[in-house]
Amino acid sequence: MLRLLLLCGALGCGAEQAAPLAFTMLQLTRVYRGNSMFRGNASLNGQLSHLLDEHNVTQVLPLEPPGAWARRQNEVMGYLTTFRHLVQFFHKERPTKFTQHLRCHLGCRLFPDGTAQSFYEVTLNRTAFLSFHVPNATWERRWPGELPVAAFAQEQLTKYSETTQDLQYFLNTTCVSILQAQSARTGEVRGRSRAPLVLGLILGSLALLGMALGIFLCTGGS
């Protein structure tokens, strides 16, 4: 019995496995008749850290000083404004009467043994659309069957460093370093390797930009 108890202790019998730390972001975009509506949030280890609501991006947790956060906030608004103007332009060229729903879900997890896992998934109208293969910095189509807009969006997103190498760096390095800092209880995120948390939202906007090009130019809203 003693040997059994010692073996159980060594193997962790009856103990719950520690949950990984996580930093995740969710961005939702609704496109209808040339109008764009944005919703989203970011969470650090289950606690809301950022909130995106239409034209406003707010930092719920004080992870960046006011001056730095103001600059990041302006950057996000700039990307969202560009996206909105492009949608309006495409709508004038090829009017659409139906609604498109785009969903970007990205982030990373840090496990107790020090290993990490990152992801970026995109759905279109509640169907898996694209995913980002982080190790190779490549986009993969997830849509069931052939869809010209999926191939077009994949091609567009592969063209730019912002949606390949930069996104890979954010997910593999920046995102993970945020969790490592949280795990070490350093209190603040410092250093260039821990770039602004809002970068993920910016990259999400760029991804949506590429998909908007595909949806409106490739399909003409059909």
Please tell me whether the overall predicted TM-score, pTM, comes out greater than 0.85 for this model. Answer: no
Per-residue pLDDT tens, the chain, 222 aa: give them: 334 323 333 334 444 456 889 999 999 988 888 888 889 999 988 899 899 988 788 889 887 788 888 888 888 888 888 888 888 887 787 777 788 888 999 999 999 888 999 999 999 889 999 999 999 999 999 988 777 888 888 888 888 888 899 889 989 988 888 888 777 754 444 433 345 556 677 777 667 767 766 666 666 555
pLDDT value, residue 215: 67
Number of Cβ within 10 Å of residue 173's Cβ equals: 16
Q: Check: CB of residue 94 under 8 Å from CB of residue 114.
A: no
- CATH superfamily for 21-185 is MHC class I-like antigen recognition-like (3.30.500.10)
Query: Tokens 């592969």 belong to which residue?
Result: 158
d(CA 215, CA 3) in angstroms, rounded, equals 64
d(CA 160, CA 155) in angstroms, rounded, equals 10
Each domain of the chain, given as residue ranges in start order, spans 21-185
Q: What is the DSSP string of 152-191?
A: HHHHHHHH-GGGTHHHHHIIIIIHHHHHHHHHTT-SS--S
Angle between helices 66-93 and 199-213 (to 10 degrees): 10
Q: Is 211 helix (H, G, I), strand (E, B) or coil?
A: helix
Q: Check: CB of residue 156 under 8 Å from CB of residue 218.
A: no
pLDDT value, residue 185: 57
